[in-house]
Amino acid sequence: MSGAGTGRIQGKALLVGDNVDTDQIMPGRFLALSDEQELGRHVFDGYEERVRQGIGAGTILVAGQNFGCGSSREHAPIGLRGAGVQAIVAKGFARIFLRNAINLGIPVVVSAEAAALAHDGSQVEISLGEGIVSVDGKECPVEPFPQFLQDLLQAGGLRQYVRRRLAGR
Protein backbone atom coordinates (compact mmCIF):
# COMPACT_ATOMS: atom_id res chain seq x y z
CA MET A 1 0.00 0.00 0.00
CA SER A 2 1.38 3.37 -0.90
CA GLY A 3 -1.27 6.05 -0.72
CA ALA A 4 -3.86 7.19 1.77
CA GLY A 5 -6.83 4.87 2.24
CA THR A 6 -7.39 1.64 0.34
CA GLY A 7 -9.08 0.41 -2.80
CA ARG A 8 -9.58 1.94 -6.21
CA ILE A 9 -10.61 5.46 -7.00
CA GLN A 10 -11.78 6.69 -10.38
CA GLY A 11 -12.51 10.17 -11.55
CA LYS A 12 -11.86 13.01 -13.94
CA ALA A 13 -8.72 15.09 -13.66
CA LEU A 14 -8.79 18.79 -12.91
CA LEU A 15 -5.40 20.49 -13.24
CA VAL A 16 -3.82 23.15 -11.07
CA GLY A 17 -0.25 24.43 -11.32
CA ASP A 18 2.91 24.46 -9.19
CA ASN A 19 3.10 26.02 -5.72
CA VAL A 20 -0.64 26.37 -5.22
CA ASP A 21 -0.82 27.82 -1.71
CA THR A 22 -3.54 27.38 0.89
CA ASP A 23 -4.47 31.08 0.66
CA GLN A 24 -5.59 30.37 -2.91
CA ILE A 25 -7.34 27.16 -1.92
CA MET A 26 -9.15 28.79 1.01
CA PRO A 27 -8.77 32.58 1.38
CA GLY A 28 -8.38 33.98 4.90
CA ARG A 29 -11.78 35.63 5.00
CA PHE A 30 -13.43 32.19 5.23
CA LEU A 31 -11.43 30.90 8.18
CA ALA A 32 -14.18 31.51 10.71
CA LEU A 33 -16.17 28.74 8.98
CA SER A 34 -15.79 25.13 10.03
CA ASP A 35 -18.58 23.27 8.21
CA GLU A 36 -17.23 21.10 5.38
CA GLN A 37 -20.03 21.85 2.92
CA GLU A 38 -19.86 25.56 3.57
CA LEU A 39 -16.06 25.61 3.19
CA GLY A 40 -16.52 23.60 0.00
CA ARG A 41 -18.49 26.44 -1.52
CA HIS A 42 -15.58 28.85 -1.12
CA VAL A 43 -12.74 26.66 -2.30
CA PHE A 44 -10.50 28.37 -4.88
CA ASP A 45 -12.45 31.63 -4.51
CA GLY A 46 -10.59 34.11 -6.70
CA TYR A 47 -8.56 31.38 -8.42
CA GLU A 48 -8.95 30.56 -12.12
CA GLU A 49 -12.57 30.37 -13.23
CA ARG A 50 -11.83 27.10 -15.06
CA VAL A 51 -11.00 25.46 -11.73
CA ARG A 52 -13.94 27.07 -9.91
CA GLN A 53 -16.29 25.74 -12.58
CA GLY A 54 -14.61 22.38 -13.03
CA ILE A 55 -14.49 21.23 -9.42
CA GLY A 56 -17.29 18.90 -8.31
CA ALA A 57 -18.26 15.51 -6.97
CA GLY A 58 -15.65 12.93 -7.95
CA THR A 59 -12.95 15.37 -9.07
CA ILE A 60 -9.39 14.13 -8.86
CA LEU A 61 -7.22 17.18 -8.46
CA VAL A 62 -3.92 16.91 -10.34
CA ALA A 63 -1.30 19.38 -9.15
CA GLY A 64 2.30 20.34 -9.80
CA GLN A 65 5.08 20.79 -7.27
CA ASN A 66 4.64 21.87 -3.66
CA PHE A 67 0.86 21.67 -3.59
CA GLY A 68 -0.68 23.25 -0.49
CA CYS A 69 2.27 25.40 0.57
CA GLY A 70 1.84 28.26 3.03
CA SER A 71 -0.61 28.40 5.89
CA SER A 72 -1.36 25.31 8.00
CA ARG A 73 -5.12 25.94 7.80
CA GLU A 74 -6.91 22.61 7.71
CA HIS A 75 -9.83 24.54 6.26
CA ALA A 76 -8.11 24.10 2.87
CA PRO A 77 -8.20 20.28 2.60
CA ILE A 78 -11.57 20.18 4.37
CA GLY A 79 -12.94 22.60 1.78
CA LEU A 80 -11.52 20.56 -1.10
CA ARG A 81 -13.32 17.51 0.24
CA GLY A 82 -16.48 19.54 0.75
CA ALA A 83 -16.31 20.59 -2.90
CA GLY A 84 -16.20 16.95 -3.98
CA VAL A 85 -12.48 16.32 -4.48
CA GLN A 86 -11.95 12.61 -3.84
CA ALA A 87 -8.19 12.39 -4.28
CA ILE A 88 -5.16 14.52 -5.13
CA VAL A 89 -2.30 13.48 -7.40
CA ALA A 90 0.69 15.81 -7.37
CA LYS A 91 4.32 16.11 -8.36
CA GLY A 92 4.85 17.00 -4.72
CA PHE A 93 3.07 18.25 -1.61
CA ALA A 94 4.08 20.83 0.96
CA ARG A 95 4.76 19.25 4.34
CA ILE A 96 1.86 20.51 6.46
CA PHE A 97 -0.74 20.01 3.74
CA LEU A 98 0.36 16.42 3.26
CA ARG A 99 -0.05 15.69 6.98
CA ASN A 100 -3.45 17.37 7.02
CA ALA A 101 -4.74 15.45 3.99
CA ILE A 102 -3.57 12.13 5.39
CA ASN A 103 -5.11 12.94 8.76
CA LEU A 104 -8.42 13.72 7.08
CA GLY A 105 -8.27 10.50 5.06
CA ILE A 106 -8.07 12.29 1.71
CA PRO A 107 -6.17 10.01 -0.67
CA VAL A 108 -2.99 11.77 -1.77
CA VAL A 109 -0.44 10.29 -4.14
CA VAL A 110 2.87 11.58 -5.38
CA SER A 111 3.54 10.78 -9.02
CA ALA A 112 5.41 13.27 -11.16
CA GLU A 113 4.80 11.07 -14.18
CA ALA A 114 1.03 10.94 -13.77
CA ALA A 115 0.85 14.66 -13.04
CA ALA A 116 2.75 15.40 -16.25
CA LEU A 117 0.52 13.14 -18.36
CA ALA A 118 -2.85 14.38 -17.18
CA HIS A 119 -4.92 17.17 -18.67
CA ASP A 120 -8.34 18.49 -17.73
CA GLY A 121 -10.89 15.72 -18.09
CA SER A 122 -8.36 12.87 -18.24
CA GLN A 123 -9.66 9.61 -16.82
CA VAL A 124 -7.63 8.95 -13.67
CA GLU A 125 -7.67 5.69 -11.76
CA ILE A 126 -5.78 5.27 -8.52
CA SER A 127 -5.11 1.81 -7.23
CA LEU A 128 -3.73 2.32 -3.75
CA GLY A 129 -3.16 -1.35 -3.00
CA GLU A 130 -0.89 -1.76 -6.01
CA GLY A 131 0.68 1.68 -5.82
CA ILE A 132 -0.35 2.59 -9.33
CA VAL A 133 -2.07 5.61 -10.79
CA SER A 134 -3.21 5.43 -14.39
CA VAL A 135 -3.98 8.39 -16.60
CA ASP A 136 -6.12 7.64 -19.66
CA GLY A 137 -5.02 4.04 -19.39
CA LYS A 138 -1.29 4.70 -18.99
CA GLU A 139 0.04 3.28 -15.72
CA CYS A 140 2.47 5.28 -13.56
CA PRO A 141 4.15 4.25 -10.32
CA VAL A 142 3.28 6.01 -7.08
CA GLU A 143 6.01 7.10 -4.68
CA PRO A 144 5.54 5.04 -1.52
CA PHE A 145 5.04 6.68 1.88
CA PRO A 146 7.22 5.62 4.82
CA GLN A 147 6.06 2.48 6.65
CA PHE A 148 4.89 4.38 9.73
CA LEU A 149 2.49 6.44 7.64
CA GLN A 150 1.21 3.38 5.86
CA ASP A 151 0.51 1.75 9.24
CA LEU A 152 -1.21 4.91 10.43
CA LEU A 153 -3.41 4.89 7.35
CA GLN A 154 -4.18 1.22 7.73
CA ALA A 155 -5.19 1.88 11.33
CA GLY A 156 -7.83 4.26 9.95
CA GLY A 157 -5.93 7.52 10.24
CA LEU A 158 -4.82 9.62 13.17
CA ARG A 159 -8.26 9.82 14.78
CA GLN A 160 -8.49 6.03 15.13
CA TYR A 161 -4.87 5.81 16.20
CA VAL A 162 -5.51 8.28 19.04
CA ARG A 163 -8.74 6.50 20.00
CA ARG A 164 -6.88 3.26 20.34
CA ARG A 165 -4.07 4.76 22.38
CA LEU A 166 -6.55 6.47 24.71
CA ALA A 167 -8.47 3.22 25.16
CA GLY A 168 -5.24 1.42 26.06
CA ARG A 169 -4.55 3.77 28.96
Partner 1 sequence: MGQTIAEKIIERHAAAGRISPGQIVEARPDRILLNDVSGPLAFQEFERMGATRVSDPEQVVLVQDHFAPAPSLGGATAMQAMRRFRDSQGIEHFFDVGQGGIEHTLLPEQGLVRPGDLIIGGDSHTCTYGAFDAFGTGMGSTDIAAALALGEIWLRVPKTQRFVFRGGRRPFVTGKDVILRVLREIGVDGANYQAMEFYGLGAFSMDERMAICNMVVEGGAKAGFVAPDEVTRRWASGRLGDAFTLVAADGDAQYLTTRTFDLDSFGPQVARPGSPGDVSDLTDVVGQRVDQVYIGNCANGTLTDLRQAAEVLRGRRVARRTRLIVVPATQEIYRAALQEGIIEDLISAGAAVSTPSCGACFGGHMGLLAEGEVAITTTNRNFRGRMGHPDAGIYLASAYVAAASAVAGAVCDPAEVLGERKR
Residues that bind partner 1 (CB under 8 A): 19, 21, 23-24, 27-29, 31-34, 45-47, 65-66, 69-75, 77-78, 92, 94-96, 99-100, 103-104, 146, 148-149, 152, 158-159, 161-163, 165-167
Instruction: Return the number of the residue (13 or 98) whose C-beta is nearest partner 1.
Output: 98
Distances (CA, A) of 82 to 55, 65, 78, 125: 11, 23, 6, 21
Tell me the closest approach of the beta carbon of residue 105 to partner 1, in angstroms.
10
**How big is the chain, counted in residues?**
169
Give the shortest CB-12-to-partner 1 separation in angstroms. Answer: 25
* DSSP-based three-state secondary structure for 152: helix
CA distance 51 to 61: 10
Cβ of residue 18: shortest distance to partner 1, in angstroms? Answer: 9
Of the two residues 3 and 27, which places its CB atom closer to partner 1 in the complex? 27
Give CA–CA dist 85/35, Å, rounded.
16
Q: Which is nearer to partner 1, 134 or 161 (CB)?
A: 161
Q: Is residue 41 helix, strand or coil? A: helix
Nearer to partner 1, 69 or 89 (CB): 69
Phi and psi torsions of 127, nearest 5°:
-115, 100
